[in-house]
Structure 1
Amino acid sequence: MRIPQPRSLMGQMLLAVAVALLLVQGLSSFLVYQAQREAYETGMLNVAAFRLIADTRGPDTFARPKRAPEGGPIAGPPPRSYSLEFSNRSPATISEQRDSHAEKRLESILADQNFPPSEIVVVHRSVGQDPAARQSTLRRAAFRNMARFEINDLMKSHLLVVGVRPLNHQGWLIARVRTPRAMNILLMPLVLQTLLIYVVLVGAVALILRRITRPLAALTRRVERFAATQDADGQITPSGPDDMHRLIVAHNAMEARIAAMLDEKNVMLGAIGHDLKTPLAALRVRIESVEDEGERARMAATIEDIVRTLDDILSLARVGRPGDPRERTELSALVASVVEEYEDMGEPVELGDTERIVLELRPTWMRRALRNLISNALRYGQCARVTLKREGQRAIVLIEDDGPGIPADRIDDMMNPFTRGDPSRNSATGGAGLGLALARAIADQHGGALKLANRLSPSGEVAGLTARLEVPV
C-alpha cells in the first residue's frame, strides 16, 4: 500500500523536516534516556551499597541470621526505610531474571569500598511481589491511615532487591530500595520536550516556507493564466525573499517581451494578409476577361486554393492568441448546425447521438475545427458520422469515417503543419496539410485535445479513422 504524500512544495518540505526531526530527536531522546537511566540506576545501587556497608560490622554479622517477620500482627512504629534482611536463601527466585549488568556495577562499587568479595544477586520486582517489602509497606500505610488507592500505588512501585553473600559464608544480606521506575520518571519529560521542539521548529519552518511558497504559488497561477491568454495585463507584484523577488521581476519582463512579440506578429500577419489578398482579388477580377471558360475556371480554382491556404496559415498563426472572447454556447446545437451545412450541400455527413452540453468556448474557432475534421473525413473516408457525448468533465465530439485510416507510426505526424496523407500534394486529394494541425491548435486553445485512432473491424482490419475532439466543460 502506497502512503499518500503531499503534492505541494510546502507540504513535502514540512514532511521532510518532520521526518528528519523525528529521527534526530528520537536518537537524541534515546541517548539522553539511556544516560539518565544509567545515572539513576547507579544512584539506586549506591544507596543499596551504602546500606550494606553501613549496617555491616564485619564477617560475624552473617553468622547471626535475623529474619524480618513474614507474618503475624502488624504492630510497632513504621520503619523509615526497608531494613536489611539476613537470610539463608538467595533473594532471587527461579522464575525471576537477574540483572547481570547491575550486579557487575554493584560489585565494582563494593570493591572500591573494600567490601569482602561476595556473590551478588540483583533483581527487580514490585513492592507487592516482595513479602518483606509488602509487610513494611502495610505497616507504614496503617500507621499513616492511607487510602486504599494510595496503598495500591505503593504496591505497584518498583523495588530493587540486592542480595550479597561473602564467599566464606552461607547467609545472605539483603537490601531493598524502593523507587518509581526510571522509565516513568524520565520518559514523560522527553516526550514533552520532543513535542515542544516539534511545535517550535515545524512552526518556524512553516512560516519560512509560507513566505517562499506564497509568491511562488502566485507566480504559478500567473504563468498558467499567461499560457492560456498571452495577455500581459495583471502581472503580479514582486514579493518574498530576494531570490523569489528577482524571479518574479525576470518573469514579468519576459512576459512583456513575449506579449510585445505576439503583438508585432499579429500586426505583421495582418499586413501580409492584406498585401497578398489585395493582388489576389485583383487577379480574380482580371480573369473575368479570359474568354475560355475552362481556363477561367481553372484560374479561379487556383486563386481560391491560394486564398484558402493563406487563410489557414494566418489562422494557425493567430490561434494561440485569439481576439474574440469565449461565449456560453450550447455545443450540441453548434455541432448540428455544422452538420446541416454539409447536408445542404449534399455531402454524406450523418449526425448521430448528441447530448445537450453548455460550456464556454469560441464558437467561430470551434466551427472551423469541426469543419476541418469533417472535411478531412469526407476527403479520405467518403463519409462522416458525428456524435457528441459527455465523459466526466469533458465534452467529446467523435468524427468517424470509413477510409483506409492512418499508419500507426504516422498518426502523431499527421497533426503537424504541412503534413498530408497524400504525399503527392495534389489539390484534388487534399489541401496544404493544415486542417488537422489547425483543429489540434483550436482544441489546445480551449484546454482540450485532439486524438486520432484507427477503428478496427471484428476481423482486426482497419475499418476507418476516428477523430476525437475533447473540450473541458
Structure 2
Amino acid sequence: MKSFLPRSLPGQLALVMAGALLVASVVNFVLLIGERHRAQLIEQTGPAVARFVDVAREVFSSPPELGRPTPIARLGPSRYQVQNANPVDTRNLARDSTMEQRLSSALKDADLDVLQIRASVTSITLPDRGGQGGQRPRFDSDDRFRFGPDTNPTGPQLRRENDRPPATFGNDPAPSANAESPRPPREAREIVLTAQLPDKRWLTSITISPAGTSGDIFLLGASTFIIFAFVLAAALWIANRVGRPLRDLTAAAQKVGAAGEPQEVVVQGPGDVRQTLEAFNAMSRRVSQLLSEKDVMLGALGHDLRTPLASLRIRIESMEPEAERQKAVRTIEEASDLLEDILELARQGRSKEPVQTMDVSILVEDMVEDYAETGAPVSLTASEKAPVACRPVLFRRALRNLIDNAIAYGRVARLTVSRAGSDILVKVEDDGPGMSTEALASAADPFYRGDASRNRTTGGAGLGLTLADAIAKAHGGALVLANRAPNGLSASIKLPLATPTKPA
C-alpha cells in the first residue's frame, strides 16, 4: 500500500488535502440533502396542519349529524372526511411523533379539544395517468360543500363529490377518451392527519405532495463537486508552490561545495519557505568560504611536507650500506604517495578541471597501451563507443588505482568497456583471491586494507579504492565491487551515458 503513496511533500500535501476535501464534501452533501428534506417536509406539512386546524374549527362549530355519512371535502391539495375510524390505525401506517406534537400544539392554540391525535408522513409511488390503475385516492367534483350551514362566508371552502360515495383507496376507473396522456409513475409524499372528536369520530385529512426530485439531488451533487474541484485545484496550486522551491533547494544542496562555487537558490514561495531558502543561501556561502580556506591550508600543508621529504631523499643518497639506503628510499616514497593520496582525497568534489564529453573507450585504450609498454599484464578484452561527461585527469586517476590494485593483488588486469542501459561500465577484473562479504562492504572506506592477503607488504595505504569511489561519485556514478567465479575480483566504474546535445 505504501508503494502507491506519493513520497514528495507536494504529493503528500495534495493527497491529504484531497482526502480531507472529499470527506468534507461528502459530509456537506449528506447534510445538505438532509436539510433539504427537512425544509421540504416543513414546507409541505406546515400548510397541511394549518388547513387541518381551519377545517377542525369549522367542524367544531357545526359538526355533521351522527349516523349520517359525510362526503369527502377538499381544501387546497388536502381531502377531509369525518369517519368512525382513522386510516393511520386501519392501514397500519407508521406514526410520526413530531407531526403529532405539532398538530396537538396547533389544535390547543386554537382552543380545540380533541381526544386523540394520529399523524403519518410516508413516501408512496403514484401510478401513471394512463389508466393502468393503482392505489391512489381520486377526488373530482365541482360542487361546494361546507360542514354545517353557510354561516362563515370567509371560512374554508370545501368541495364535495356530489351524489357519489366517499372516496376509497382502490383501482381507478378506466380512463375516458379525454383522459390525460400517460405519465410514468412518480414518487410522492402522503401526509395523513387525524384527530378524534368529542363524539368519538375522527376528522381525517389526506394530502398528497410531490416528493423531492432526483434533479434536486443532481444539482446539490453538481454544486458540491464544483466546490470540491475549485478548492482541490487551489490546494494543488499551493502544494506545487511550496514544492517547487524545495525541489530547487534539493538540487542546490546536492551541489554544495562543488567546484568551489556557492550554490544559491532563487528565493520564492511562501514566507516560511523564503526564510528557509535565504538561510540555505547564507549557509552555502559560508560552506564555500570554509572549503576555500581548507584548500589553501591543504596546499600550504602539502608544500611544507613535500619540502622536508625531498630534502631527506637527497640526504640519504649517500647513505651506506646499499640495502639500508633502498629501504629508507621506499619509506620516503610511501610517505610521499600517502601525502598525495590524502591531499587528493581532501580535494575531491572541488576539482577545477573542466568537464568534457568524450568517448571513454579511447581513454581506456590509451591507458592500456601505456601499461603494455612497461610490460605490465594489462589488456583490453572488449570495448564499445561510450560517450560520457567526465574530467579526464580525475578519471585516469581512478582507473589507474583499480588497475594497480588488480596487478598487485590479482597478478593481471583485464579491462572491458560496455553499455548497460543508460550507464557506461568500465570493468577491471583480476585473478586474485577476491574479498569476503564484509570486506566488500568496507573496501571503499578510507585506510581500509581488507583480507590478510592484501597486507602491508603489497604496498599502499588503503586509499586507492576510496579515491576511485569518490571520483566516480563526483561524476554522478558509482564504484561497484563483486567477486568473480571461481576466483578473482571485478571492480567497475559506472558512469551515466552522456546525453547528446542538439545543435542550435
Tell me if TM exceeds 0.5: yes
Aligned position for 2:289: 260
**Deviation per residue, 1:106-153 (Å, 9 max, x gap):** 3333333244425655431233265546787x99x999998x6xx637
**Deviation per residue, 1:366-402 (Å, 9 max, x gap):** 1211121122122222233333332232222333333
Structure 1's 169 and 128: CA in aligned 2 closer, same or farther, altered over 3 A?
A: farther
Aligned position for 2:13: 13
C-alpha contact 1:157 1:179 (8 A) present in aligned 2: yes
Q: Partner letter of residue 69 of structure 2?
A: R
Cα displacement (A) at 1:239: 4.2
Q: Give the match's secondary structure for 1:320.
A: coil
Q: Give the match's secondary structure for 1:226.
A: coil
Instruction: Work out whether 1:110 is the aligned partner of 2:115.
Output: no
Structure 1's 469 and 194: CA in aligned 2 closer, same or farther, altered over 3 A?
A: same
Q: Give the match's secondary structure for 2:393.
A: helix
Structure 1's 455 and 99: CA in aligned 2 closer, same or farther, altered over 3 A?
A: farther
Q: Partner letter of residue 109 of structure 1?
A: R
Question: How does 1:162-241 map onto structure 2 within 5 Å?
Answer: 162=192, 164=194, 173=204, 175-181=206-212, 184-185=215-216, 187-188=217-218, 190-191=220-221, 194-195=224-225, 197-198=227-228, 201-202=231-232, 205=235, 209=239, 212-226=242-256, 228-232=258-262, 235-241=264-270
Q: Partner letter of residue 97 of structure 2?
A: K
Aligned position for 2:44: 44
Cα displacement (A) at 1:364: 1.4
Q: Give the match's secondary structure for 1:324.
A: coil
Number of aligned positions between the proteins:
448
Question: How does 1:388-467 map onto structure 2 within 5 Å?
Answer: 388-421=417-450, 427-457=456-486, 463-467=487-491
Q: Partner letter of residue 453 of structure 1?
A: A
Cα displacement (A) at 1:324: 0.2
Between the two proteins, what is the percent identity of the paired residues?
Answer: 35
Aligned position for 1:125: 124
Cα displacement (A) at 1:67: 7.1
Counterpart CA distance in 2 for 1:46 and 1:377 is 97
Cα displacement (A) at 1:308: 2.1
**Deviation per residue, 1:410-441 (Å, 9 max, x gap):** 33332111121367996532311110111111
Q: Give the match's secondary structure for 2:256.
A: helix
Structure 1's 344 and 62: CA in aligned 2 closer, same or farther, altered over 3 A?
A: farther
Aligned position for 2:69: 64
Cα displacement (A) at 1:175: 1.1
Higher-Rg member (1/2): 2
Q: Give the match's secondary structure for 2:488.
A: strand
Structure 2 unaligned blocks of 5 or more = 108-112, 129-133, 141-171, 498-504
**Deviation per residue, 1:350-379 (Å, 9 max, x gap):** 433333221101121112111211221222
Aligned position for 1:460: none
C-alpha contact 2:406 2:429 (8 A) present in aligned 1: yes
Q: Partner letter of residue 116 of structure 2?
A: P
C-alpha contact 1:48 1:162 (8 A) present in aligned 2: no
Counterpart CA distance in 1 for 2:453 and 2:322 is 27
Instruction: Work out whether 1:81 is the aligned partner of 2:77.
Output: yes
TM-score when scaled to structure 2?
Answer: 0.73
Aligned position for 2:366: 337
TM-score when scaled to structure 1?
Answer: 0.77
Counterpart CA distance in 2 for 1:135 and 1:354 is 100
C-alpha contact 2:72 2:81 (8 A) present in aligned 1: yes
Cα displacement (A) at 1:298: 4.0
Cα displacement (A) at 1:53: 4.6
Q: Partner letter of residue 452 of structure 1?
A: L
Counterpart CA distance in 2 for 1:276 and 1:313 is 12
C-alpha contact 2:195 2:204 (8 A) present in aligned 1: yes
Aligned position for 1:373: 402
Q: Give the match's secondary structure for 2:38.
A: helix
C-alpha contact 2:48 2:78 (8 A) present in aligned 1: no
Structure 1 unaligned blocks of 5 or more = 69-77, 458-462
Cα displacement (A) at 1:329: 1.6
Counterpart CA distance in 2 for 1:465 and 1:3 is 36
Q: Give the match's secondary structure for 2:457.
A: coil
Aligned position for 1:470: 494
Cα displacement (A) at 1:321: 0.8
Structure 1's 117 and 409: CA in aligned 2 closer, same or farther, altered over 3 A?
A: same
Cα displacement (A) at 1:31: 3.3
Counterpart CA distance in 2 for 1:41 and 1:303 is 102
Counterpart CA distance in 1 for 2:120 and 2:364 is 95
Counterpart CA distance in 2 for 1:121 and 1:241 is 59
**Deviation per residue, 1:32-61 (Å, 9 max, x gap):** 432442242233233444454544635758
Counterpart CA distance in 1 for 2:53 and 2:115 is 10
Structure 1's 214 and 18: CA in aligned 2 closer, same or farther, altered over 3 A?
A: same
Q: Partner letter of residue 15 of structure 1?
A: L
Structure 1's 79 and 418: CA in aligned 2 closer, same or farther, altered over 3 A?
A: same
Q: Give the match's secondary structure for 1:453.
A: strand
Q: Give the match's secondary structure for 1:428.
A: helix
Q: Give the match's secondary structure for 1:432.
A: coil
Q: Partner letter of residue 124 of structure 2?
A: R
Counterpart CA distance in 2 for 1:411 and 1:316 is 20
C-alpha contact 2:401 2:465 (8 A) present in aligned 1: yes
Structure 1's 173 and 244: CA in aligned 2 closer, same or farther, altered over 3 A?
A: closer
**Deviation per residue, 1:61-96 (Å, 9 max, x gap):** 89526579xxxxxxxxx996364478999979x9x9
C-alpha contact 2:402 2:491 (8 A) present in aligned 1: yes
Aligned position for 1:273: 302
C-alpha contact 1:425 1:431 (8 A) present in aligned 2: no
Aligned position for 2:33: 33
Q: Give the match's secondary structure for 1:352.
A: strand
Structure 1's 128 and 192: CA in aligned 2 closer, same or farther, altered over 3 A?
A: same
Q: Partner letter of residue 175 of structure 1?
A: I
**Deviation per residue, 1:266-294 (Å, 9 max, x gap):** 22222233333344444555555558655
